[in-house]
Structure 1
Amino acid sequence: MKPLHLNIASRPYRDYRPLYAVVVVASLLIAFMLLNNIETGYRYVRDTQNTRVKISQVEQQTATENRRAADATQRIRGVNVKVLSEQAQFVNSRLAERAFSWSELLDRLEHVVPDDVRIESVSPSFAKDGLVHLALQATAKTGQGMVHTLDRFNRDQRFANAFPTSEEKSNGSYRFGVGVDYRPSIARATE
């Protein structure tokens, strides 16, 4: 005879504790991963927001610099280069005239002009290449004073193209004008 096993349970007993342990561990792991994803999402939103702010600041700076560059370009286009160039040439010529050494010129004239000739006026005009054209008015005691003056100008290396411009005789003296090119030791070219 067989022993009788009485089973009064309505269904068979199963041990669910390992399953519950796995479910709890999996739930904790899922919760940890969910919190990690939430924190990563928050960091992403915060960092992209900061980056967007920086990008907008850089775009504003770029727009400001572009406006400033456009304004500068507009101002440059508004400058009349031809007038500015003429003004610069005028100033450069005035600077060259002021830098002209009168003492050097007068020393050279003292050595070139004959003793019987007296210079009454000297009027320089400055060329762009650094030469100075002199218009001289002089008085001589004799009629040969102008000829001697022209000869001595033509012999001196600092003077060139000496040519008479006028001549008149009055009261025993001879008055004459001479045009001559003068090369200063330091020529100041004007552009």
Structure 2
Amino acid sequence: MKIPINLASQPFRRGRAMLVASLAVSLLLVGTLGVLISLANADSKQLLDVRKEVSQLDAQIRKVAAAQAQQDALLRQPANADVLERSVFINSLLLRKGISWTRILADMEKVLPYNVRILQIHPTLNAANQVLLDMTVGSEHQDEVIQFLEALEQSPLFGSVLEHTSQPPTQSEPLYRNHVSVIYAQKL
């Protein structure tokens, strides 16, 4: 048997390396596709579990909201209105009583310069149950009051300062007087 080989018209090609590389890339792509499919399935199962948990939590929220509405309706009945008002009043008194003068003055001492005087201080609770200090401070020089206000703002215990009024010294009152308000971070 004679095999006709004409190298001039049909040159020898080295295609085996290209064929092996193509086969390896194909297998790699098929493997990657399998991994991606398994990840997609796992993700869909996880999403299904999360949706079940969310629906259970929504059901619990609806139950709690219904119970809350039922309790609110019970409290709003005319027979219970007096008890509710008294309870709110007593709770507000307890919150006011919870403001510690000792802590206020100790914390104020940390930021108060030696030459600034607190002439008046009045703590109150705002709507968000935060302690609001309404103060009148005085000093011989306005710069000292400004240092005090900056120290209040830089302290983590006090919020931003709101200055209401500023009065220069008079013949009867030799101090610069500033009326300011500041949020105090005392835990009630």
Report the TM-score when normalising by structure 1.
0.53
Correspondence 1:175 to 2:174? no
Question: How many residues align structurally?
Answer: 110
Distance in 2 (alpha carbons) for counterparts of 1:150 and 1:142: 13
Deviation of 1:80 (Å): 4.1
Residue 149 of structure 1 aligns to a residue in which SS? helix
Residue 115 of structure 1 aligns to a residue in which SS? coil
Correspondence 1:96 to 2:95? yes
Distance in 1 (alpha carbons) for counterparts of 2:156 and 2:123: 18
Match of 2:117 in 1: 118
Match of 1:130 in 2: 129
Distance in 1 (alpha carbons) for counterparts of 2:151 and 2:77: 54
AA of the residue aligned to 1:143: Q
Match of 2:153 in 1: 154
Given the superposition, is the C-alpha separation of residues 85 and 78 from structure 1 closer, same or farther in structure 2, using an over 3 Å criterion?
closer
Match of 1:86 in 2: 85
Match of 2:25 in 1: none
Given the superposition, is the C-alpha separation of residues 77 and 183 from structure 1 closer, same or farther in structure 2, using an over 3 Å criterion?
closer
Given the superposition, is the C-alpha separation of residues 77 and 135 from structure 1 closer, same or farther in structure 2, using an over 3 Å criterion?
closer
Deviation of 1:107 (Å): 0.3
Deviation of 1:118 (Å): 0.3
Correspondence 1:143 to 2:142? yes
C-alpha RMSD of the superposition: 1.9
Distance in 2 (alpha carbons) for counterparts of 1:111 and 1:162: 16
Residue 146 of structure 1 aligns to a residue in which SS? helix
Correspondence 1:166 to 2:165? yes
AA of the residue aligned to 1:165: H
Larger Rg: 1
Name the % identity. Answer: 23
Contact 1:130/1:183 (<8 A) preserved: no
After TM superposition, the runs of 4+ consecutive aligned structure 1 residues lying more than 4 A away are none
AA of the residue aligned to 1:176: N
Report the TM-score when normalising by structure 2.
0.54
Contact 1:150/1:163 (<8 A) preserved: no
